[in-house]
Structure 1
Amino acid sequence: MSNLPFGFGSSDPDKRGENEPEGGGQGAGGDAFNQLGQMLSQLGQMLSQAGSSSGPVNYDLAKQIALQKLAGGGGGNIGFNSSGDSENAVRDAAHLAELWLDAATILPAGARTTVAWSARDWVQRTLPTWQRLCDPVARQVSSAWVEALPEEAKHAAGPLLSMVSQMGGMAFGSQLGNALAQLASEVLTSTEVGLPLGPDATSALLPANIEKFTDGLELPSSEVLVYLAAREAAHQRLFTHVPWLRQRLLATVEEFAHGIQVDTSALEQLAGQVDPSNPASIEEAMSSGLLEPKTTPEQEAALTRLETLLALVEGWVDIVVADAVGDRLPGAEALRETLRRRRATGGPAEQTFATLVGLELRPRRMRAASALWKLVGDQHGMDKRDGLWSHPDLIPTAEDLDDPMEFSERLGTRTDLDDLDPIAELERTREQGDEADGDTPPS
């Protein structure tokens, strides 16, 4: 057995590269088998300690790492003077924000509950959505560990290939756990990355993170909290009452991720650096970078659709919140610009997601989308503006963002929208979606 299975290098550098005698008996060959047995035993213990996972990512390990890191960094603190104070402050801010939003959009309140989350809460409540987003990439990463094996190593490994796949799941789980811990310590609301990460119809704000964010601003903390509550509530109105939107966003991310390919030659080099007896070596190998950016036409089209849709969501929220807040908060305009820059320049959220899925969730054309929504609202009214969300075929395209005036003029000539009841259309779309999912209640 001159070659150990790929990725299972000896933990003793002095023993690596030793050849087994032709007879395969004792001596160096026996030592090699003993070392392999010890390494596999260590690997088995490590896998059992990390928890089990039936998919391509060890999400048990990801959750465990994220929560441990947050515990060490005070991520369990909820902010303000006490958890009770923060819960009350968040609920009061959300209630006020919803009242103001009622006059700025035809979409009714979307959140049935508003909660204050700690960073640990954010990890636990958003992990199911991260699983849906990361699985397409992780499946390819996991399979690449096996595909990159030389044929002789595959033959020698036999049933050990399942362990190699588990190592891939652990490696991705470790990377995901570290990334989620970083993101959880800085994200302000459940929808800040532009995706509906949390449970349906639940507005969530992270008071401890909002406190840190407010420290760098010359604004009262109460104003910041109400403004962020309004943004979260506006997102929830869209995601709740535009039933196709949530599915379209997540499906477009999945479509892009499915096309990502793993650089197997890089994996071969990295796997040689992995020591099964040292879990840190797996994390170090993964952090070296595994994903190679793709430029296929299909992926470019998916990226354009995603960026446009994110821009339309963020632009609509920007305009609606600005209309709702108006002059009620003296620092609203400064805060609006701060948040615009935070999203457009790419903060920790975008960087984290780019690391995990190879895709930046950056609404690069948010300002253009804001200008388009404002123009449509000014020229055609709030009802027609918000009514465009009633069907995916009605919303503006990337080309419309290039020429919002032409889109607005074209909208004015569409007689099919004059008698449109946006709420009725949205409800009809929701019912169709429920029927497709088999969720229609019995009559």
Structure 2
Amino acid sequence: MSNLPFGFGPSDPDKRGENEPEGGGPGSGADAFNQLGQMLSQLGQMLSQAGSSSGPVNYELAKQIALQKLSSGGEGKIGFTGSGDSGAAVRDAAHLAELWLNAATILPAGAKTSVAWSARDWVQETLPTWQRLCDPVARQISGAWVEALPAEAKQAAGPLLSMVSQMGGMAFGSQLGNALAQLASDVLTSTEVGLPLGPDATSALLPANIEKFTEGLELPSSEVMVFLAAREAAHQRLFTHVPWLRQRLLATVEEFAHGIKVDTSALEHLAGQIDPSNPASIEEAMSSGLLEPKTTPEQEAALTRLETLLALVEGWVDVVVADAVGNRLPGADALRETLRRRRATGGPAEQTFATLVGLELRPRRMRAASALWKLVGDQHGMEKRDGLWSHPDLVPTAEDLDDPLEFSERLGNRAELDDLDPMAELERTRPPEDESDPDDPSS
């Protein structure tokens, strides 16, 4: 892991630059009193938020910090609300992309609605999924503090443990908020990191970020918008019509997080750095790196499975979009390569995710997966290629990415796939819709 999971890094790296004075610069007494007043006000707000937080991460605080940073950075002035020209441009691009995709895959359209999001929209719409991804990490880290304490220390600490837990939730929330603000300013679509972060069956593009991304590409903005809309729509087709995929991706991330082990041998030294009367000392101690998590063999196995599945998703999207776009967009090849490099090298989005969850979402083998999907499609047809998604046991493995020719040859000898109706199999594996209300005792 190149980056520490959240709780171990500085909560706001933008405010800890090289020019920051260590002892405070000269200023008037009025300035000092104003700063003290702001600090007390912020502390009061944080303590109020801590009292209402019931989990390992204070997500309300995270949302407030993220939205505040986006507003202070000018996002509120240039952001989009999904109405007007931006919303219409996204809907038009999505409609055209869906028409082209119909001829490139057997999977039907997955998005029921196409929307334009601002960065603020992205934070609010994806926060429920981030909660699912971040809670296991925070619980493991927070639990390490308490579990490592001797019984006598736990008894002596008493109410202090509850306060440490609340302050830990605030520290996590603060760092999460800053990270989400950075991520929201960079992502182009709701599925760019390879995970279904947004609401089901919703295709979302971020026009303001796309406009920044387009600068310097020497391509028409409308062409870039349609290409990205096609990628978003292809992702949505997979996540909607392959019932096991969404759960498998998120569960593998959770499995990785659950495997986090913390070296608590430094806990005694760490405890000496905490001043219960100074809430900031708790965050500083957590950010010191003394409780840096260690990667376990179980985590390595989960990471390999996740990277392979992400590569298969990204590789399939890459091939399908290339087939759909064809010669319709003159700059498609250049855009395809640009996005491949963006995903493979890891931009701010991947780096931020590594900080949040403790792993990198870089599909390192995306090119190999893309080559495999193209080979299968060329040799066996679109139906058999897409039919492999009908069951998790049918999709290629990491070993198959090493030898796509052998996989394609083996696929040709699998008689059970010759009679397979891919769409019927996908529908068969879809969980039945429960129309009853779980909160209604009569249902």
Indicate the TM-score class for this superposition, using the shorter chain for normalisation.
0.7 to 0.9
**Is residue 82–residue 117 contact of structure 2 (8 Å, CA) maintained in 1?**
no
Local SS of the residue matching 1:115: strand
2-structure distance, mates of 1:189, 1:77:
20
Q: What is the root-mean-square deviation of aligned Cα atoms in Å? A: 2.8
2-structure distance, mates of 1:423, 1:366:
25
1:237 maps to 237
**Is residue 79–residue 211 contact of structure 1 (8 Å, CA) maintained in 2?**
no
Are residues 1:262 and 2:262 paired? Answer: yes
2:223 maps to 223
For 1:70-109, list aligned pairs within 5 A.
70-77=70-77, 79=79, 83-109=83-109
Local SS of the residue matching 1:114: strand
1:196 maps to 196
Residue 413 of structure 1, CA deviation:
0.8
Distance 1:48 1:202, change over 3 A: same
1-structure distance, mates of 2:290, 2:352:
15
1:6 maps to none
1:341 maps to 341
Which stretch of structure 1 is more off in the superposition, 76-85 or 233-242?
Answer: 76-85
2-structure distance, mates of 1:243, 1:141:
32
Residue 324 of structure 1, CA deviation:
0.5
Residue 400 of structure 1, CA deviation:
0.3
2:393 maps to 393
TM-score (normalised: structure 2): 0.84
1:425 maps to 425
Letter of the 1:311 partner, please give it: A
Residue 375 of structure 1, CA deviation:
0.1
Q: Please list every run of 5 or more consecutive structure 1 residues that lacks an aligned counterpart in the other structure.
A: 1-41
2:47 maps to 47
2:310 maps to 310
Letter of the 1:337 partner, please give it: E
Distance 1:151 1:51, change over 3 A: closer
1-structure distance, mates of 2:396, 2:270:
45
1-structure distance, mates of 2:44, 2:157:
15
For 1:52-63, list aligned pairs within 5 A.
52-63=52-63
2:176 maps to 176
2-structure distance, mates of 1:423, 1:77:
45
More RCO (CA 8 Å, sep 6+): 2
**Is residue 188–residue 206 contact of structure 1 (8 Å, CA) maintained in 2?**
yes
1-structure distance, mates of 2:327, 2:278:
58
For 1:366-377, list aligned pairs within 5 A.
366-377=366-377
Residue 75 of structure 1, CA deviation:
2.5
Residue 395 of structure 1, CA deviation:
0.3
Letter of the 2:87 partner, please give it: E
Distance 1:365 1:125, change over 3 A: same
Residue 294 of structure 1, CA deviation:
3.6
Residue 349 of structure 1, CA deviation:
1.7
1:299 maps to 299
2:165 maps to 165
Distance 1:69 1:399, change over 3 A: same
* 1:77-128 alpha-carbon deviations (Å, 9 max, x no partner): 5558995111011001101100100010000000000110011110101010
2-structure distance, mates of 1:153, 1:322:
61
Which stretch of structure 1 is more off in the superposition, 109-118 or 353-362?
Answer: 353-362
TM-score (normalised: structure 1): 0.84
Residue 298 of structure 1, CA deviation:
1.8
2-structure distance, mates of 1:395, 1:60:
39
Residue 59 of structure 1, CA deviation:
0.7
**How many pairs align?**
401
For 1:6-155, list aligned pairs within 5 A.
46-50=46-50, 52-77=52-77, 79=79, 83-149=83-149, 153-155=153-155
Which stretch of structure 1 is more off in the superposition, 117-126 or 43-52?
Answer: 43-52
Local SS of the residue matching 1:423: helix
Give the number of the structure whose alpha-carbon radius of gyration is greater: 1
Residue 276 of structure 1, CA deviation:
6.0
2:9 maps to none
